[in-house]
């Protein structure tokens, strides 16, 4: 089940650097931003296999940094690529090679994706920042449309008790009786 992530304001954290490499996770962040903006996750004719809302978010980070004279680039995602938190040693090495020319790395992903980047870059001379925060687990219905689009309708997760059961699933013996 993917994570539901929200952007954090990170521009001020990056103002003192001359170069920033943006490293996006290809699954949870685009999915989350598509649901938040109520736009297609995939709109084949407009954006190909990229998510428009996520591409806009990346651009909203790059523009103010570049206006301040900070060089930016994005680690391109080669399909098929798993979630960033599941990267292979080869994918981590690719990050190390690309990050050599940058003072900071900005991870667009969850805490686990950031740990992946920090672990891969532990011997590199750059700082790693996280641009998104986890808000919840994501639960959505996928809808296909024409022209070829894929949209995600978010569903709130049901609250569960400490044992992971939903209150409606409790047996009469497990239900709390009024005092």
- pLDDT at position 128, please? 97
Asked if residue 123 belongs to a domain, the reply is yes
Asked if residue 8 belongs to a domain, the reply is yes
Q: 3 and 112 in contact (C-beta within 8 Å)?
A: no
Domain of residue 91: give its range. 3-169
Number of compact structural domains in the chain = 1
Q: 100 and 48 in contact (C-beta within 8 Å)?
A: no
What whole-number distance in Å separates Cα of residue 91 and Cα of residue 120? 9
CATH number, position 85: 3.40.50.2300
- pLDDT at position 105, please? 97
- pLDDT at position 78, please? 63
pTM for this prediction = 0.77
For the chain, 179 residues long, the average pLDDT of each consecutive 10-residue run is: 84 96 91 88 75 92 97 81 74 93 96 93 95 80 71 64 50 45
Asked if residue 174 belongs to a domain, the reply is no
């Amino acid at each position: 089940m993917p994570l539901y992530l929200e952007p954090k304001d990170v521009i001020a954290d990056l103002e003192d650097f001359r170069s920033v490499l943006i490293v996006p996770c290809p699954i949870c962040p685009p999915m989350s931003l598509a649901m938040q903006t109520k736009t297609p996750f995939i709109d084949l004719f407009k954006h190909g296999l990229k998510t428009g809302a996520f591409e806009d978010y990346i651009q909203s980070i790059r523009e103010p940094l570049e206006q301040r004279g900070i060089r930016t680039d994005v680690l391109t995602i080669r399909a098929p690529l798993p979630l960033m938190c599941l990267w292979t040693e080869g994918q981590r090495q690719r990050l190390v090679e690309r990050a050599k020319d940058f003072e900071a790395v900005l991870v667009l992903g969850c805490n686990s994706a950031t740990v992946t980047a920090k672990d891969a870059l532990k011997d590199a001379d750059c700082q790693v920042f996280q641009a998104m925060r986890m808000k919840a687990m994501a639960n959505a219905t996928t809808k296909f449309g024409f022209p070829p689009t894929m949209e995600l309708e978010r569903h709130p997760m049901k609250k569960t008790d400490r044992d992971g059961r939903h209150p409606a699933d409790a047996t009469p013996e497990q239900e709390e009786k009024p005092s």
